[in-house]
Amino acid sequence: MEDARRTADGALTRVEQVMRIVRERIASRALAAGARVPSIRTMSEQSGVSKSTVVEAYERLVAEGALVARRGSGFFVAGGAGGAVGERGLAGAQPQPRLDREIDPLWLTRQSLETDARALRPGCGWLPASWLPQDAVRRALRAMARDPRAQLTDYATPLGHPALRQHLSWRLAQHGIGAEPGQIALTDSGSQALDLLCRFLLEPGDTVLVDDPCYFNFQAMLRVHGAKVVGVPYTPNGPDLAAFERALVEHRPRLYVTNSAIHNPTGATLAPAVAHRLLKLAEEHRLTIIEDDIFADFETDPAPRLAAFDGLARVIAIGSFSKTMTAAARCGYIAARADWIEPIVDLKLAVAFGNGDLTADLVHRLLVDGTYRRYLEGLRTRLADAMGDTLRRLAAAGLTVWTRPQAGMLLWARLPDGLDAAQVAREALADGVVLAPGNVFSATRSAGEYLRFNASQCNRPKVYETLQRAMERAAAPSAWERVD
Amino acid sequence: MEDARRTADGALTRVEQVMRIVRERIASRALAAGARVPSIRTMSEQSGVSKSTVVEAYERLVAEGALVARRGSGFFVAGGAGGAVGERGLAGAQPQPRLDREIDPLWLTRQSLETDARALRPGCGWLPASWLPQDAVRRALRAMARDPRAQLTDYATPLGHPALRQHLSWRLAQHGIGAEPGQIALTDSGSQALDLLCRFLLEPGDTVLVDDPCYFNFQAMLRVHGAKVVGVPYTPNGPDLAAFERALVEHRPRLYVTNSAIHNPTGATLAPAVAHRLLKLAEEHRLTIIEDDIFADFETDPAPRLAAFDGLARVIAIGSFSKTMTAAARCGYIAARADWIEPIVDLKLAVAFGNGDLTADLVHRLLVDGTYRRYLEGLRTRLADAMGDTLRRLAAAGLTVWTRPQAGMLLWARLPDGLDAAQVAREALADGVVLAPGNVFSATRSAGEYLRFNASQCNRPKVYETLQRAMERAAAPSAWERVD
C-alpha cells in the first residue's frame, strides 16, 4: 500500500524509489540507528522491484553513509557512536529494536498532527477544534488587547504568571491537593512539565514504570531520557498491584509515570483502595510518582488523586489545559514539594529561559471568567452522549469495550479474535482514517488486538464503514503482508 | 551584606539562620551537588555567629541529608548518584566547582527576571517593556480575535505554522541564508531551539566550544546536557582563530555555539575574513556550528552570517523574536539541513508535542503587516542614541569600552584597574541596581574586570550614581569580604 503510493511518483527511478523508502523509514524512526533494514528479498517483494534494483539502492545508501553493510548479516542503519555528526537522533547510541511504523508512537503523533482537518481521526487524542471554546478564546484575546495592564512584551517571572499560579493552587485544592502558589511552576505544556521532571529525576539507564497500556508519548519522552521503560498491566481500577510490587522488587525503578484520574488510553479510573496501596508500595520502595492530570476537567465526579492522598511528598502533579481548553495556547504546570521547585525552575530557566507569559495570561483569563466552567458543563454532556453512541456503534461492529469510561473522550476496545490492530489501522489509513492501534500504547507490545477510540472524533458514519472494511481486509491478508 | 539580611529575620535561631543560608545557596546553585561548603571558621566569620553554632547547623544539615561530612576534609553538599531521589539538579552526578552567586548565570537570570519593573537593570539582556511594540501586539491580538480563519484551539503541525515558516525562509534569504520552509522548524523559544539541537547533537561528556565571553545561558544550557565547555577568546572581529584552531586540535569538540551577527555580551561583529577562515577550520575538523541570530533585527548594515557562507551544510541557524518584538509571546526557529530537520522535529514532538501555534500566529501577523518594520527603524535610531549616551557616561565614570558596537543594545566595558566586577555588582545590588559582572559570561572566569551594559536600560542618572558608589565601596573592602 505504502509502497504503491511511492511508485506513483513517476519522477524517480526504481532505484531512487527504494532509496527514498529507506530514507523515509529512517527519518520517521521506523528504522532506528543500528536497526537491520529489510532483506533484499523482502524489500523486492514489498516494493515490487527486482532484487538487483534493491541491491543497487542499498549499495548507494551505503556509499552515502545512510546504511552500513555487514558481511553475511545484511544491511543496517548507520549512526550511533561511530556515526556522522548530527545523526544521534532519538535512540541515542544504543541500537533500538525495530518498530513497525504503525505502532511507533511518533508516527501516530505525526499522522494525527499532519492529517488535514477534514480527515477522520477516531484514534486521535484530542477534541475536534469545533468542540473547543473558540469564542471564549476570542473574547480573552480581545480582553487582553484592551487591558492597559496586560503584560504583552516582557519575560515571565521564574515560576510564571503569579495570578494563574494562585488560581491553580485553588483548583488543585478542589481535588484535595494542597499546593501553595510557590510550589507551582508554570511550563509551556504538560509535555514540557514531564520533560523537566525527567531531567530533574532521571539519569540515563534508570528504570521507569509506566502503565501497560499508557499514553504513548510517555514512552517516546522516556526514550529521549535514556530510561529503561517497564510496563505494569493496568486494570479497570488502576495498576495491577501484585505486578507493580514485583516490578518494584525486580527493577528498582526510580519513577512511575501515570494518568490516574482518567487514564489514557483506557478511560479507566483509579480506585481509592488501589491508590492507597500503591502509595504504600511507593513509600516502601522510595519511588517517586508523576501524576499527569491533563484530563481533570472532563470529570463530573472527581476520582482520587495520588497527589492528594500523598500530600505531594513523593508524588508530583502535572497538568495542562491543552485537552480541555486550547492546544494552540499551551500552558502547563508542575506542583511539587517546595524544596524541589527551586531546582526545577533553575532547569526551566537554563533550557527555556522561562515560559510564555502571554499564553499563561490567556489561560488565566479563560479560567477565571466563568466562561470555561459553563463550557465544561456543556462539554461533559456532549461527551457523555458521544461516548454512549460510540460504545453502541463499536459493539455493533463487533468490538468489545474493555471498561466503560466514567468520563472523558477515550475508550479502549478489543477487535474480534484474530485481527491485528496494526493491520486494521494500516488498512483504514489507506482510506484516510487515522486509527490508534493498541501497541502504540503498550511498552510490552501486548495490546495488538486493541484500538483506542476518541468518542468526540467518532460521530461520522464513515468512521464505522471504514473500520468495518479495514477489518474485512485485515482478515484477508494482502500481497503486501511482510514475509520476514 | 547577604548574611546581614538573614540576621534581620528574628524568627529564626542562629543555628537555623546558618542552615537557611546553606539551603538557599544549594537551591540557588551557588553550592552544587558535591561542592564543599565554607569552612566552619569562614562561615562563622561571614555570618557573625560562633563556630559552635556553625558546627551545630552543619551537623543538623548532615542529619537531614543535605550535607555529607568527610573526615578530615570538611562538609560537602549531598547529591549525585548516591543522593536522595529528586536531588540530582543541574549538575548531574558530577561535582561542580563552586560558583560565587554573583557570577552564577542562573543567579543573574533570576535577579533580572524577579526584580520588580521599577528596579534598574543596566545589566539585563533585554529591552524595557516600554521600548517594545506593545500597541502592535495589541493590534495583532485584536486581528486574531476577529479573523474567522484563525487557528485558536488546535495543535500546531509538526514543523509549525506554515505561513510563518514561509516568511522566515524569505527573511533568512535577506541574510543570504537559503532555507526552504521545509528546512525550518518552529520552537517555543530560541532557548528551546538550542536545547533541541543539544539533544540532537550531543552526548554527555562531549566538548563544546563557546566564545569567551559568551551569552551566559549557553553555559547553563550546556551544563544541563553534561557537555564540557571550552571557551575560546573573542576578539572585536570574531573568535581568536589561532586559539580556535588550538582548541579544535586539543579538545576535538563536537560543536561550537555562537552569536555571530551581534555578539553577546560584547556587541562585536564577525568580520567576513574571520567567518571564512572559521568555516574552513570547522570543515577540516568536522565541527558543527550553531549560530544564534537572536539580535538580527537590531542590525542596520547586516554582518556576515556563518550560515550564509556555509549554506547550512554544517551550520545550523537559530533565532527568535523575544529580544526585538516580544518576550511574552515567544517563538523561535531552527533552520538546518533537510535531513536533520525530521529527526529534530521527532525530538520536539517527543519532548514538547510541538510548539504553540497561537504565539507563532501572533509573531507572523506582526512580521508581515509592516508595523514591525517601521517599529524597528525607530528602535534602531533610539538604540543608537542610547548607545552614544551610555558610552559617554561610562567613560566619564572611568570605564573603558572594549569595542564600540555597530548596532544593538549591548556593550562590554572594563572597570578601572583593581576593581572586581562581581564585588561592584554585589554593592550595586544592595542599592537595587542589577549589574552583569563579566565572569557570568566567561567560561574561563577571565573577565573579572568587565561588566556588560544594556544601553536601553541605562538612561537614568541613578544607574551611574549607583555604579560610582558601588565602585568606591568595592575599592574599600568591607568586613564581609571572603577570607578563604
Domain with B450 in it: what CATH number?
A: 3.90.1150.10
Residues of B in contact with A328 (CB under 8 A): 151-156, 356-358, 361
**Which of the 8 DSSP states describes residue B36?**
B
Tell me whether residues B203 and A153 touch, CB distance under 8 A: no
Q: Within this chain, do residues B155 and B227 fall inside the same structural domain, yes or no?
A: yes
* Whether B152 contacts chain A with CB within 8 A: yes
Pairing of strands A288-292, A315-320: parallel
Q: What one-character DSSP code corresponds to residue A457? A: G
Instruction: State whether A278 and A390 are in the same domain.
Output: no
Distance CA B367, CA A58 (A): 45
Of A261, A240, A255, A237, give the one whose Cα is nearest residue A177.
A261
Please check whether residue A483 lies inside any domain of the structure: no
pLDDT band at residue B90 under the 50/70/90 scheme: very low
Give the pLDDT confidence score for residue A91 in this predicted structure: 36
The reply to whether A220 touches chain B by the CB within 8 Å rule is: yes
Instruction: Let me know whether A24 and A83 are in one domain.
Output: yes
Q: Residues of B with CB below 8 A from A252's CB?
A: none
Kindly state whether residue A378 falls inside one of the protein's structural domains. no
Same domain, B273 and B169: yes
Both B238 and B353 in a single domain?
A: yes
Range 371-400 of B in CB contact (< 8 A) with A: none
Probe site for chain A from B127, B155, B371 (most A CB atoms < 10 A): B155
Q: Which residue of A has its CA nearest to B153?
A: A326
Residue with grid cell 545523526, as numbered in its chain:
A87
Assess if residue B79 is contained within a domain. yes
**Single-letter residue type at B229:** V
Using the beta-carbon criterion (under 8 Å), do B328 and A189 form an inter-chain contact? no
| CA distances from residue B98 to A83, B2, B34, B72, B483 in whole angstroms, order as listed | 36, 17, 9, 20, 15
Under DSSP, is residue A33 helix (H, G, I), strand (E, B) or coil? coil
At B117 the pLDDT is: 65
Q: How far apart are CA A332 and CA B149, in angstroms?
A: 26
End-to-end, the C-alpha distance of chain B in Å comes to 17
Give the Cβ contact number of residue B204 at 10 Å.
Answer: 14
Is A294 part of a structural domain of the chain? yes
* pLDDT at B451 (0 to 100): 97
Q: Binning pLDDT at 50, 70 and 90, where does residue B430 land?
A: confident
3-state SS assignment for residue A211: strand
Residue B5 pLDDT > 70? no
Question: Is A335 a member of any domain?
Answer: yes
Q: What is the pLDDT of residue A93?
A: 33
A280 in B contact zone (CB under 8 Å): no
pLDDT score at A72:
61
Render pLDDT for B370-420 as a digit per residue (tens, 0 to 9): 888 899 999 999 999 999 999 999 999 999 999 999 999 999 999 999 999
Judge: A359–B358 Cβ closer than 8 Å, yes or no: yes
> Coil, strand, or helix at residue A104?
coil
Domain count, chain B: 3
pLDDT number for residue A79: 65
Judged by a CB distance cut-off of 8 A, whether residue B66 touches chain A is: no
What is the DSSP secondary structure assignment for residue A227, as one 8-state letter? P
Provide the domain limits for residue A76: 2-87+94-98
- Interface pTM (ipTM) of the complex? 0.81
Distance between A332 CA and the closest CA of chain B, angstroms: 11
List, for chain A, all residue ranges whose pLDDT scores fall below the cut of 50.
1-11, 80-98, 479-484
On whether any CB of chain A is under 8 Å from the CB of B141, the answer is yes
Q: From start to end of B117-252, where are the E strands?
A: 184-187, 207-212, 228-235, 238-239
Three-state DSSP at A333 gives strand
Do the domain assignments include residue B58?
A: yes
Q: DSSP letter string over A420-447?
A: -HHHHHHHHHHTTB--EEGGGS-TTS--
Whether A119 and chain B come into contact, CB under 8 Å, resolves to no
CB B270: neighbour CB atoms within 10 A?
Answer: 25
Q: What pLDDT does A482 receive?
A: 45
pLDDT of residue B82: 30
| C-alpha grid cell, residue A293 | 492530570
Q: Which of B480, B418, B484, B392 is nearest to B7 (CA)?
A: B480
Residue pointed to by grid coordinates 561548603: B37
Q: Measured between alpha carbons, how far is A268 from A275 in angstroms, rounded to an integer?
A: 13
Q: To 10 degrees, the CA torsion angle through B45, B46, B47, B50?
A: -20
At B43 the pLDDT is 83
Cβ density class B76-110: b for 16+ within 10 Å, e for less: bbbbbeebeebbbbbbbeebbebbebbbbbbbbbb
Q: 10 Å Cβ neighbour count for A205?
A: 10
Residue A347 touches partner B, C-beta closer than 8 Å: yes
Query: Does residue A176 fall inside a structural domain?
Result: yes
CATH, residue A69: 1.10.10.10
A92 neighbourhood in chain B, CB within 8 Å: 203
Backbone angles phi, psi at A84, to 5 degrees: -70, 160
CA–CA separation, B131 and B133 (whole Å): 7
Q: Which of A326, A342, A369 is the last residue of a domain?
A: A369
Same domain, A79 and A50: yes
Check A153 against B89: CB less than 8 A apart.
no
- pLDDT band for B28, please (50, 70, 90 cuts): low
Same domain, A67 and A175: no
**3-state SS assignment for residue B479:** coil
Cβ(B334)–Cβ(A175) below 8 Å: no
The span from the CA of B228 to the CA of B192, in Å, is: 20
Q: Are A330 and A359 in contact (CB under 8 A)?
A: yes
Cell digits of residue A198: 525527567
* A20 CB within 8 Å of a chain B CB: no
How far from the centroid of its chain's Cα atoms is residue B38's Cα? 27
Residue A481 lies in a domain: no
Distance from C-alpha of A379 to C-alpha of A132, rounded to nearest angstrom = 9
One domain for residues A116 and A178: no
**CA–CA distance, B230 with B238 (Å, rounded to integer):** 16
Is B327 in Cβ contact with A106 (below 8 Å)?
Answer: no
The residue among B335, B369, B403 that closes a domain is B369
| Residue B223 C-alpha, separation from nearest chain A C-alpha, in angstroms | 9
Interchain CB contacts (distance < 8 Å): A and B: 260
pLDDT tens digits along B200-258: 999 889 999 999 999 999 999 999 999 999 999 999 999 999 999 999 999 999 999 99
Contact between B209 and B219 under an 8 Å Cβ cutoff? The reply is no
Q: What is the 3-state secondary structure (H, E, C) of chain B?
A: CHHHHHHCCCCCCHHHHHHHHHHHHHHCCCCCCCCECCCHHHHHHHHCCCHHHHHHHHHHHHHHCCEEEECCCEEEECCHHHCCCCCCCCCCCCCCCCCCHHHCHHHHHHHHHHCCCCCECCCCCCCCHHHCCHHHHHHHHHHHHHCCCCCCCCCCCCCCCHHHHHHHHHHHHHCCCCCCHHHEEEECCHHHHHHHHHHHHCCCCCEEEEEECCCHHHHHHHHHCCCEEEEEEEECCEECHHHHHHHHHHHCCCEEEECCCCCCCCCCCCCHHHHHHHHHHHHHCCCEEEEECCCHHHCCCCCCCHHHHHCCCCEEEEEECCCCCCCCCCCEEEECCHHHHHHHHHHHHHHHCCCCHHHHHHHHHHHHCCHHHHHHHHHHHHHHHHHHHHHHHHHHCCCEECCCCCCCCEEEEECCCCCCHHHHHHHHHHCCECCEEHHHCCCCCCCCCEEEEEHHHCCCHHHHHHHHHHHHHHHCCCCCCCCC
Q: B326 and A358 in contact by Cβ < 8 A?
A: yes
Q: Which of A256, A353, A457 to mutate to test the interface with B (most CBs of B within 10 A)?
A: A353
In B, which residues are within 8 Å of A81 by CB distance? 203
| Residue B81 forms contact with A (CB below 8 Å) | yes
CA–CA dist B442, B260 (Å, integer): 17
Q: What is the spatial distance between Cα A177 and Cα B294, in angstroms, rounded to a whole number?
A: 41
Q: Which position has the grid cell 544592595?
A: B430
A353 and A330 belong to one structural domain: yes
Say if residue A344 is in the same domain as residue A464. Answer: no
- Give the Cα separation of B130 and B385 in Å (integer): 16
Asked if the Cβ–Cβ distance from B141 to A137 is below 8 Å, we say: no
Q: Which residues pair with B411 in a beta bridge?
A: B453
Contacts of A329 in chain B (CB under 8 A): 152, 356, 358-359
Among the partner residues B106, B352, B359, nearest to A346 by beta-carbon distance: B106
- What does the alpha-carbon distance between residue A434 and residue A86 come to, in Å, rounded to a whole number? 32
Is residue A481 exposed (0-12), middle (13-18) or buried (19+ Cβ within 10 Å)?
exposed
Higher pLDDT: B21 or B480? It is B21
Spatial distance between the Cα atoms of B318 and B215, rounded to a whole number of angstroms: 14
pLDDT grade for B72, boundaries at 50, 70 and 90 = low
Instruction: Tell the residue number behind the cell numbers 484563525, with chain if given.
Output: B150
B7 CA: distance to closest CA in chain A (Å):
22
Asked if A234 and A211 count as a contact pair (C-beta separation under 8 A), the reply is yes
Q: Helices A134-146 and A371-396, interaxial angle, to 10°? A: 160
B307 plus B385 within the same structural domain: no
Say how far residue B400 (Cα) sits from the centre of its chain.
Answer: 23
Helix, strand and coil content of chain B, in percent to the nearest 5, comes to: 45, 15, 40
Q: Point out the residue among B117, B134, B157 whose CB comes nearest to the CB of A114.
A: B157
Shared domain for B210 and B295, answered yes or no, is yes
